[in-house]
Structure 1
Amino acid sequence: MSIPFKSSPVEFHQHQLFPSNIFDLLPKDHECYLYSELFEQLDTRALESQYSRKGQHAYHPKSLVSILIYAYSRGVFSSRQIERRCNEDLSFMFIAQMNCPNFRVLSDFRKNQGEFFQDCFKQTVKLAMELKLASLGHISLDGSKFKANTSKHKAMSYGRLKEKEQALCAEIDELIEKAKRCDQEEDKAYPEKTGYELPEDLKFKEDRLAKIRAAKQALEQREEKLNPGKAIDDKKQISFADTEARIMGKNGGFDYAYNAQISVDADLQIIVGQHISQNANDKQEVKAALQALEDTAGQLPDKVSVDNGYWSGGNLQTFEDNKVDAYVATDKGEKTHKIDLEKSERKVVKADFEYNETDNSFICPHGQILPMISEAKDGSRVYRGCDDVCAACPLKNRCCQSEKGHARTISTDDKEPLRRNMARKMETPSAQAVYKQRKVIVEPVFGQIKNTGFRGFSVRGKDKVAGEFSMVCAAHNFKKMAKAIFTGLIRPEFRNYAANAAI
């Protein structure tokens, strides 16, 4: 006796008498319906004005941006995969309104409309604030590395660039001389040519030389901007594929990447500010972050919390200038040690020294004064004690770090008073309570973005990368808004939700 499995419905092989809507197959509460209504709130008039009435009709920019943001929210980033989903996935078909663009259209739109995506992100922030999902009461700022669309194998050092440039110039000169001496032989070798074409090997070498010179020039411009007037180290590298990407490392690995910075609101983890940086660390990112916040939300937050990666004189000064209530984790060595120095064998750290702002000097635990011995143009300072006094000090082995037996030195900058004030502030219970919230505000957001599968960029160049990351942040904000609506946290006043009272 055969097992009575369920059989296919009789309608499976029959045509229906009356036509049905294919989207009736989707659940009535499917998220694509809500996303479609949220996307309708986007203003694309600025981009629409760039289109021409002539030629073939273009896809509506609102349709394209809706498809891309919805795809990114679902973890689909390849333009070919997005096109495939628009032809196979009912939810994608609904967002695209059964009008799926070719993958090249999607790819070119993503590549060329970076500025528009940044505007879309700003609109999501304003929409979230109108829906009372973000208040800018407490903002947490953090950064994470995302891989650039290139690799270490498509790069070359400055020294190697100079060597290859000289070698290729010599090879090209040699080929040209050989061509002049062997015109008759060349005519026999290329009988189908007119005599005006370049031989393939010569054309290849000239193209290669042009790429090397372009990369070399980009590296020189970059280093002149970062270190004006200084000689370029031959070990400095640049990528041929993306000359604006930088080598960045994490957990022992190094690759070309961009430093993506986000400012997250504490209310519902809405990203209210973001920017792309080429810096490998976060010591200069506060100014750009506050500027991005003001451009997006129109105001600065009440409180900002950041980890010790942002501990720098420049960042602290930026918070001070903008009158922002900042909570910056104290850097290692500048935090007051819990273990008493005299009752233990621990090392002597910078926090054990007292800073005298009036004399601009440090005082060691045993009373020696360390005066400033040098100050650079960027404000960095070096303080140093007396060799003889340090040599006779009982704490010498735990304090002095010089292999040559020199006195203790302390390196800092001209913002030392701000450092001391912040360190004292972060020792208070109220500041620690505020900072404790940071780990549940901003860090989960990067985890949510990376868990969707976004680990690297699909475009090249800082401006285009900034546009793509704006789309990633916009997709995140739409997901947060959709969740708030589904859970009944809010009732927006548009479409099917207008009749429902706000909670």
Structure 2
Amino acid sequence: MASRKPTFKPYDQQQMMLLPPSLEELVPKNHPVRVVNEVINKINLAPLHASYKLTGASSYHPQMLLKVLVYGYVSNVYSSRKIEAACKESIYFMWISGMSYPDHNTINRFRSDRLRESLRSVFEEVVKLLAQEGLLSIEEVCVDGTKIEANANRYTFVWKKAIATNKEKMKQQLKGIWEYAQSVASKEDNLPDPPDFTTITREKVQCTVDKLNEVLGKKKDIDKKVKGKLSYATKHFPQNMGKYEEQEQILGERNSYSKTDEGATFMRLKEDHMRNGQLKPAYNVQISSSNQFVVNYTIHPNPNDTTTLAAHIAQHEASYQQAPKVITADAGYGSEENYTLLEGKKVKAYIKYNLFDRQQNTNNQDPFSTDKLFYNAQEDCFICPMGQQMNFIGESKRKTSTGFEQTSRKYQAQNCGHCPLNGTCNKMEGNRIVQVNERLERQRKQAYELLNSEEGIKRRKKRCYDVEPVFANIKSNHGFKRFMLRGKHKVEIEFGLLAIAQNIRKKAS
């Protein structure tokens, strides 16, 4: 009996085709690349065209390059070299590029230079198009932020505290040398009083060093240690002060920056579900979302979400000529400054404050907290738990890091020394003092009522599955955890492409 042989489908690499298939036939009708093509074809690209010169050699069409770049970010291809290779190897890239083969330098220059001034308008056009289709709302948004690592060296950094420490050491050394000079100076040396180093500058250091060299240079018997210190100060202190001043100018209000990306600040990043992390150079990315579409984005060098909202709202106004009508956000944004800002713009704010969740839990409340004390409006005093009056003793004012002024009224108890609750109610030395910020208390009360209303509960629940999944999708599902470009302007371009890609992926899903 003859043995049977397996049956295979025909395989012939040399087979000729009378009608070769076109790329159009090979791209499925519902593929995301078609959504990219459809969306980019509908938007106005005049601002992008304006970035090109009227003279010179012909360039690749910006519409084609934009489609290729956006589809790269949609399909997790972020590197310009990988996009270049994909245009020669991937059917989808070949189809959307029209069989054009831009090299990685062209792609990178287009991303970094051509899109510098025009990407924001492209993003806004996409958002408006999606809004017209009823997929998102520009007026009702959720706001949140995340930290994304910068493309910078993790071990070369500048710290504001280190600069302050070095400047203090410099001041002390110059002071010590000056005191020695005074001890050995004669009347003819005409050595004045020590310089005022309350604010130390390069000019003051240079003048001090020059004067010390002038006085001590005439002396023959100078202490060798002092002579060595003066020699070192002459050579290094003015130069170091110039370097510190440049670094402080770059720092601004920040506490640190990376030497390889001066726009990046060292922030503590959450590395895993246990939030075990380390300080790394990063950017604070803020977005507004609606139905998991990105409506607005801003990049910030400061790690604190609280101070980013004003600039974020300003960008929304610049993009859409109006502020949003409703904002939902977590307790990271619940500050007096932000509440006041939104009140002035008539924005309905469903924003938690730092004590909101604690107040929701009736079993975890402090019975002696300020909000539990009875307030007598007629006599303008609080009543402590033992029935004593806490009388008004004055106001205190402070400014935040952004320059916002806060005013609090202070009330003090009469006699806490022999009170049986002393140590429980009052944990400070002397009589207990409470501070009440009337404007903030009013704003918190209003926020509490809004958040606990039927609409507020609905919006609080929605925020968790609206804005937070956007970051999870970008960082976890699509593996973008570190920027590829350096500098704040380029990082804004890169996240703008990520935002457009997120919106197109959501539309295609």
Query: What is the TM-score normalised by the length of structure 1?
Result: 0.74
Question: 1:370·1:383 contact (CA, 8 Å) conserved in 2?
Answer: no
Question: 2:410·2:435 contact (CA, 8 Å) conserved in 1?
Answer: yes
Corresponding position of 1:248: 267
Alignment deviations for residues 52-78 of structure 1 (CA, whole Å, 9 cap, x no partner): 344332111111111111111111111
- Aligned residue pairs total 425
The structure-2 alpha-carbon separation of the partners of 1:317 and 1:64, relative to structure 1 and needing over 3 Å to count, comes to same
Question: 1:218·1:243 contact (CA, 8 Å) conserved in 2?
Answer: no
Q: Distance in 2 between matches of 1:253 and 1:241?
A: 18
Alignment deviations for residues 165-189 of structure 1 (CA, whole Å, 9 cap, x no partner): x9xxxxxxxxxxxxxxxxxxxxxxx
**Could you say what secondary structure the match of 1:351 adopts?**
helix
Question: 342, 346, 357: which is aligned to 1:323?
Answer: 346
Alignment deviations for residues 127-153 of structure 1 (CA, whole Å, 9 cap, x no partner): 011112123453111111111121331
Which amino acid letter does the alignment assign opposite residue 457 of structure 2? Answer: Q
Corresponding position of 2:196: none
Q: How does 1:5-404 map to 2 (within 5 A)?
A: 7=8, 9-112=10-113, 113-136=115-138, 138-158=140-160, 216-222=244-250, 225-226=252-253, 236-250=255-269, 251=275, 252-265=277-290, 268-332=291-355, 336=359, 338-339=361-362, 346=366, 348-353=368-373, 364-366=384-386, 368-369=389-390, 371=392, 372-377=394-399, 378-381=404-407, 386=412, 389-402=415-428, 404=429
Corresponding position of 1:177: none
Which amino acid letter does the alignment assign opposite residue 447 of structure 2? Answer: M
* Greater Cα shift, 144-153 or 303-312: 144-153
The structure-2 alpha-carbon separation of the partners of 1:457 and 1:356, relative to structure 1 and needing over 3 Å to count, comes to farther
The structure-2 alpha-carbon separation of the partners of 1:61 and 1:337, relative to structure 1 and needing over 3 Å to count, comes to closer
Question: 1:116·1:467 contact (CA, 8 Å) conserved in 2?
Answer: no
Q: How does 1:459-470 map to 2 (within 5 A)?
A: 459-470=485-496
Corresponding position of 1:231: none
Q: Distance in 2 between matches of 1:357 and 1:309?
A: 32
The structure-2 alpha-carbon separation of the partners of 1:21 and 1:311, relative to structure 1 and needing over 3 Å to count, comes to same
**Could you say what secondary structure the match of 1:465 adopts?**
helix
Q: Distance in 1 between matches of 2:9 and 2:240?
A: 64
Q: Distance in 2 between matches of 1:277 and 1:152?
A: 19
Q: Distance in 2 between matches of 1:3 and 1:401?
A: 93
Query: Post-superposition shift, 1:414?
Result: 5.3
Question: 1:272·1:297 contact (CA, 8 Å) conserved in 2?
Answer: no
Which amino acid letter does the alignment assign opposite residue 425 of structure 1? Answer: L
**Could you say what secondary structure the match of 2:359 adopts?**
coil
The structure-2 alpha-carbon separation of the partners of 1:160 and 1:297, relative to structure 1 and needing over 3 Å to count, comes to closer
Larger radius of gyration: 2
Corresponding position of 2:183: none
Query: Post-superposition shift, 1:256?
Result: 1.4
Q: Distance in 1 between matches of 2:377 and 2:243?
A: 47
Q: Distance in 2 between matches of 1:5 and 1:393?
A: 97
**Could you say what secondary structure the match of 1:145 adopts?**
strand
Which amino acid letter does the alignment assign opposite residue 146 of structure 2? Answer: S
Query: Post-superposition shift, 1:437?
Result: 1.6
Q: Distance in 2 between matches of 1:95 and 1:288?
A: 36
Q: Distance in 2 between matches of 1:459 and 1:271?
A: 21
Query: Post-superposition shift, 1:411?
Result: 7.4
**How much is the aligned-residue C-alpha RMSD, in angstroms?**
3.5
Question: 2:146·2:471 contact (CA, 8 Å) conserved in 1?
Answer: yes
Query: Post-superposition shift, 1:408?
Result: 4.8
Corresponding position of 1:417: 442
Identity value in percent = 29
- Residue 479, structure 1, aligned to residue 505, structure 2: yes
Q: Distance in 1 between matches of 2:87 and 2:68?
A: 8
**Could you say what secondary structure the match of 2:416 adopts?**
helix
**Could you say what secondary structure the match of 1:13 adopts?**
coil
The structure-2 alpha-carbon separation of the partners of 1:458 and 1:248, relative to structure 1 and needing over 3 Å to count, comes to same
The structure-2 alpha-carbon separation of the partners of 1:307 and 1:215, relative to structure 1 and needing over 3 Å to count, comes to farther
Q: Distance in 1 between matches of 2:106 and 2:4?
A: 51
Q: Distance in 2 between matches of 1:373 and 1:477?
A: 50
Question: 2:359·2:365 contact (CA, 8 Å) conserved in 1?
Answer: no
Alignment deviations for residues 441-475 of structure 1 (CA, whole Å, 9 cap, x no partner): 11111111112111122222222222221111111
Corresponding position of 2:470: 445
The structure-2 alpha-carbon separation of the partners of 1:365 and 1:154, relative to structure 1 and needing over 3 Å to count, comes to same
Q: Distance in 2 between matches of 1:61 and 1:296?
A: 22
Q: Distance in 2 between matches of 1:69 and 1:446?
A: 18
Question: 1:311·1:331 contact (CA, 8 Å) conserved in 2?
Answer: yes
Alignment deviations for residues 102-147 of structure 1 (CA, whole Å, 9 cap, x no partner): 1122122222223211111101111011112123453111111111
**Could you say what secondary structure the match of 2:119 adopts?**
helix
Corresponding position of 1:186: none
**Could you say what secondary structure the match of 1:374 adopts?**
strand
* Greater Cα shift, 75-84 or 49-58: 49-58
Which amino acid letter does the alignment assign opposite residue 45 of structure 2? Answer: T
Corresponding position of 1:185: none
Q: Distance in 2 between matches of 1:430 and 1:52?
A: 52
